[in-house]
Amino acid sequence: MQKKLAILSLFILIFLLLLTGAWALFIKKDDSNSQNDIRTIAAENLTLTYQYVGINKWEYNVKGQLPNPCQKAEVEALVAESYPEQVTIMVNIKE
């Protein structure tokens, strides 16, 4: 009787460990898009930083110097309807 109880307890313990491990992996996957995860892309004289702020919202910031003080930069974001979503950020420099 005690041997059956020990085997049953062992199987329950293994099941709980597997369940805890799967739960931990799921939680870790959700942390990959945490609010502290700021990423940066640099191209020529411009730097793009972006961050996921939650509930399908992103913040982005474009910094850099214009070639001439008489020029102006316009930033435009295009969101493609796809899964996963793809965003193209265009910086147009105008006189």
Whether residues 46 and 76 share a domain: the answer is yes
- The parent domain of residue 74 ranges over 38-94
Instruction: Determine whether 71 is exposed, middle or buried from the number of CB atoms within 10 Å of its CB (0-12, 13-18, 19+).
Output: exposed
Whether residues 43 and 79 share a domain: the answer is yes
Q: Against a cut of 0.75, is the pTM above it? A: no
**What pLDDT digit, counting tens, does each position of 53-80 carry?**
878 788 888 888 888 888 888 888 888 8
**What pLDDT digit, counting tens, does each position of 9-33 carry?**
888 999 999 888 888 887 766 555 4
Whether residues 48 and 9 share a domain: the answer is no
Whether residues 79 and 45 share a domain: the answer is yes
